[in-house]
Structure 1
Amino acid sequence: MLTPLFLSFIFFLLLFPLTSSLPQSSRICIKSGPLKSNPPELPTSDHNRAYDRDDNDIDDNINIKIIQTCRGGHATDIINSGKLKGGDIEHNSILVQSRLTFLFFYISIGSLFPYLPVYYHSLNLPGSWIGYLGSVNPITTFLISPLWGAYSDRHGNHKKILLLTFSSSVVTRLMMLLSVNPVYLAANVFVTAALNAPVKPLLDNSVMAMLRDKGSYGKMRLYGQLGFGLGSSIVGILIAKSSLGYRLPFLIHGLVSIPTFFILKNFKVPSLPSSPSSVEGRNPEGPKFKEGLTLLTKNVDALVFFFLVFAVGVSSGCIENFAYVRMREVGGTGKDMGISRFVSASAGVPMFWFSGRLTRNLGVQKVLIGTLASYAVRFTIYSRMKVPLGGLPAEFLRGATFALFWSTATIYTHKISPKGMSATLLTFMNAMYGGLGQSIGAIIGGKVQERVGTVRLFRYGATFDAAFVIVSATYFAVRSLTKSKDTPKVMKIEESDED
């Protein structure tokens, strides 16, 4: 019953009124029909040139063409002409492509990733080994991902790297089924993680580069949340009915990855300039990474931001590797896990949609502190869970807070990136969260779980996060009081920064 409703909801969102994706000038024509006498005064092409100076995805004369078309009478002329190269029609096509890409990519990983710790548990591996295997992927991502990002920024071949790493990582991931030896599993996870490290940040960076309004990233990323929930919920239901058990997610992951590859292949990944001078020609030396990193190290807000992202990653590494192990301990099945993921994905959709506005109103620091506080609550819920579906409130909280956290972190990282280093900084952000943070969380969680059990592990996690929230909130409060009136607000994303 839940799956058909979920599919219908996704179909509706994919066909969401296209006028919401057009700039205000085009929407006026569509809503008003023939214009009376004077068309609305629109921003000049110079404004657009400044507006998209980093993306290079909007024709400088688009607003003039829109005015001329509106003066001609009907909005249908805009659609029928199909000649607004680099303008509204093309941008709207980019939005649809972004939605489909996020949807199918996250269906593919949602069909497998949530069930990997449970698969290890089904092989009767001890908690320490589950933690070790759970840490290999993030620690490899931490070490390799920035290198991939720097290489991509230097040479500008983002799409080739995206396709190569995605397809090869799927193949090596499926090879995990060839043996149940823990050493083989660890080696396989390492190779797969090294290949997969740049996929997510390159995809995020490509979408961000093509969006006019950077704050609308969450409205694109919500399709990833939907895809992850769809993939994990369907697989959870099928596991309960299949004799393949927890080998089934691997099969479905491989099948879904085939159409995902072709969607990625058709996705218009921009040839991002490797440096500010690339307008005149590609700079063979690429971006000045040392200078850019030096500027970042002097930015206290940026350093604190990445540290808090790391702290969130530690909590995530612990809870994501053992939440469903805990569910299995109280009698949970694949169906229960699928329902849990459905609830999580459903909660994340509206948060991704409104994430841009919430980030502007709250500020990055409050989002990060709120995320850590939510982990404390989730740890507490899981530790007191007596029945499999008793963790649904924690799953709801997971979806809502992750959506806001990830959208905020991506927008802020893109905002503070030096010229030509956006992919590098996004891979670094991914590395701090999904690399160093999650690996440490998985290792610590595995050792503690093996010694004291899952319940006490989650109690310790709740205590740690609660204490960290108090310390972080105190730090930001003191820092805000000591800053002068002329100093910008700490980690505040203003509306103009997102354009």
Structure 2
Amino acid sequence: MKADNIWKKNLFILSIAVFIAGIAFSEIMPFLPLYISSLGQFSHQALNFWSGFIYSGMFIISAITSPWWGKLADRKGRKLMILRASLGMAIAIGAMGLVTNVYQLFALRCLQGLFAGFVSNSNALIATQTPKEKAGQAMGTMASSVTAGTLLGPLIGGFLASVFSYRITFFITGFLLFITFIMSLFWVQEDNFVVKNTQDIGKTQDVIKQFKSPTLIFGLLLTTMIIQAANNSINPIVSLFVKQLVHSSGNTIFLSGIIAALPGIATFAVASKFGAIGDKIGTHKIIIAGFIAASIFFFATAFVQNTFELGILRFLVGFSDACLFPQVQTMLTKNSPADVTGRVFSWNQSAMYIGNIAGPLIGTTISGLSNYSMVFISTAIIVLFNLFLFKINVLNHLKDTRN
């Protein structure tokens, strides 16, 4: 098969696979606290503690172990890591339907975090197989696919849990991930990859020496962390903010669900298109536009008077999101040697998970000390700070490139 057809086939198969994975990862979230409550007698405080502890355990373990998996990916191949992640998580999540106490559930969530990396390794494989001039469009397509799956997941998970049971839903989720394993095993082809010895891939400092601009790479990783922290600072208070806007009347849960989904819908619609535009005019310009737009949207959200205004601004945030995380991955792709792409993307995943953990802590702390509006203002300030760091980083990189 011609190289041009191989990367297109890989993109087609893996975009479907990450869509299915997005469903699998998000469909257990709506009922996870309810499942925890069914495993014992808990006070309100204990239930909140275990829900947060079990939810975040996966991210902490994955943030720690991702760089090691990335190193192994560069040595053994990204396809092998895709197979490892999909099969390992299929077993871990499926086994959650068999637990009898919260300790077992926590252990399996940590095991899920240990095996994590399906999406990041899929992105790394696409990044190394896709022509550089098509990287933005390809990474945008992958981002759209996983976003679509993540949006559908809670809806499908709630439906399955209501029709069957919590335990059966875990079994179905494990089966979905096993499907991604089968798809990747038989239809994904990693072309021209040579298995390396340990000494061939080098230590971290050797990898850094291969970068034309190490400050650009690590600046992009910092950008990823701050983007995730900013976006996730809003998540814990969305439903509470909606409740405040409707004065505790109406169907708060339904409205919160719609508003929470709106950014993802917008991102899904335009991420691939923005990636293609970035390939033509410069990916860094798309990212800068995203930062400017996001800071305006977040700041304006602090002053909304009703859920309609909130919904419009949250939808617009989805467009700015499409300019940020997928495009940062594109810049990492275009500025990283193919031989170390696995490690770069694993570092990016760790940065993303650190942001996932830090964001909700920032949002809940600020809302506790002040009010919900201040969370959005603070997030706008964080985004502007990220823009400042990014512009300095990119301008220095462009200056060095010209010299």
Instruction: Tell me if TM exceeds 0.5.
Output: yes
Residues 1:309 and 1:232: Cα distance change in structure 2 (over 3 Å): same
Q: Which residue of 328, 338, 363 corresponds with 1:409? A: 328
Give me the whole-angstrom Cα distance separating, in 2, the residues matched to 1:344 and 1:181: 35
In structure 2, C-alpha distance between the alignment counterparts of 1:258 and 1:476, rounded to whole Å: 39
Q: Which residue matches 1:100? A: 16
Q: Does 1:436 align with 2:354?
A: yes
Q: Which residue of 1 aligns with 2:73?
A: 152
| 2:380 aligned with 1:466 | yes
Query: 1:348, CA displacement in angstroms?
Result: 1.9
Distance 1:442 1:89, change over 3 A: closer
- Check if 1:162 corresponds to 2:82: yes
- Asked if residue 288 in structure 1 is aligned to residue 202 in structure 2, the reply is yes
- 1: CA distance, partners of 2:382 / 2:99: 41
Q: Give 1:232 shift.
A: 3.5
Q: Distance in 2 between matches of 1:438 and 1:396?
A: 20
Question: Cα gap change, 1:459/1:247 in structure 2, threshold over 3 Å: closer, same or farther?
Answer: farther
The answer as to whether partners of 2:243 and 2:252 remain within 8 angstroms in 1 is yes
Q: Which has the higher relative contact order, 1 or 2, with Cα contacts under 8 A spaced 6 or more apart?
A: 2
Does the residue aligned with 1:242 lie in a helix, a strand or coil?
helix
The structure with more helix, counted as a fraction of residues: 2
Map Cα deviations across residues 112-170 of structure 1 (whole Å, 9 max, x no partner): 346657877998456565544443222222111111010121223x3333223222223
1:131–1:321 contact (8 Å) kept in structure 2: no
Q: TM-score if structure 1 supplies the norm length?
A: 0.64
Q: 1:403 to 1:327 in 2, by over 3 A?
A: same
Higher mean C-alpha displacement, 397-406 vs 318-327: 318-327
1:287-318 C-alpha deviation (Å, 9 max, x unpaired): 22322224559633323222221111222343
Q: Aligned-pair distance for 1:475?
A: 5.3
One-letter amino acid of the structure 2 residue matched with residue 266 of structure 1: F
Shift in Å, 1:377: 3.8
Which of 226, 234, 239 is 1:311 aligned to? 226
Change in CA separation of 1:211 and 1:282 when aligned onto 2, cut-off 3 Å: same
Partner Cα separation in structure 1 for residue 255 and residue 72 of structure 2: 42
**2:136 maps to which residue?**
215
5+ residue gaps, structure 1: 1-84, 490-499
Deviation at 1:425, TM superposition (A): 0.2
Alignment of 1:277-356 (within 5 A): 278=194, 282-283=196-197, 285-289=199-203, 290-294=205-209, 296=211, 299-324=214-239, 339-340=258-259, 343-356=262-275
What does the per-residue CA deviation read over 1:74-115, in whole Å, with 9 as the maximum and x for residues that have no partner? Answer: xxxxxxxxxxx3255555544432332233232322433466
Q: Aligned in 2, Cα 1:445/1:269: closer, same or farther, shift over 3 Å?
A: farther
Partner Cα separation in structure 1 for residue 22 and residue 232 of structure 2: 19
CA contact (8 A) 2:302 2:376 kept: no
Report the 3-state secondary structure (helix = DSSP H, G, I; strand = E; otherwise coil) of the residue aligned with 2:278.
Answer: helix
SS in 2 for 1:105: helix
Pair 1:202-2:118 in alignment: no
Q: 1:448 to 1:373 in 2, by over 3 A?
A: same
The corresponding residue for 1:262 is 182
1:165 maps to amino acid: A
Distance change >3 Å, CA 476–CA 99, structure 1 → 2: closer
Once the two structures are TM-superposed, the CA of residue 439 in structure 1 deviates from its matched residue by 1.6
For residues 298-357 of structure 1, give each alpha carbon's deviation from its aligned partner in whole angstroms, at most 9, with x where no partner exists: 633323222221111222343345535766895657755664566444312332221223
Q: Is the 8 A contact 2:231 2:359 kept in 1?
A: yes
Q: Does the Cα contact within 8 Å between 2:219 and 2:390 map onto a contact in 1?
A: no
Q: Partner amino acid for 2:145?
A: Y
C-alpha contact (below 8 Å) 1:219/1:352 kept by paired residues: yes
- Rg (Cα) greater in structure: 1
The alignment covers a number of residue pairs equal to: 388
Shift of the alpha carbon at 1:417?
A: 1.9
Percent of pairs with identical residues: 18
Q: 1:417 to 1:165 in 2, by over 3 A?
A: same
Moved more, 472-481 or 390-399: 472-481
Provide the C-alpha distance between the structure 1 equivalents of 2:192 and 2:231, rounded to a whole number of angstroms.
32
- CA deviations 1:446-480 (Å, max 9, x no partner) are 5666x56xx93x43432322223444445566788
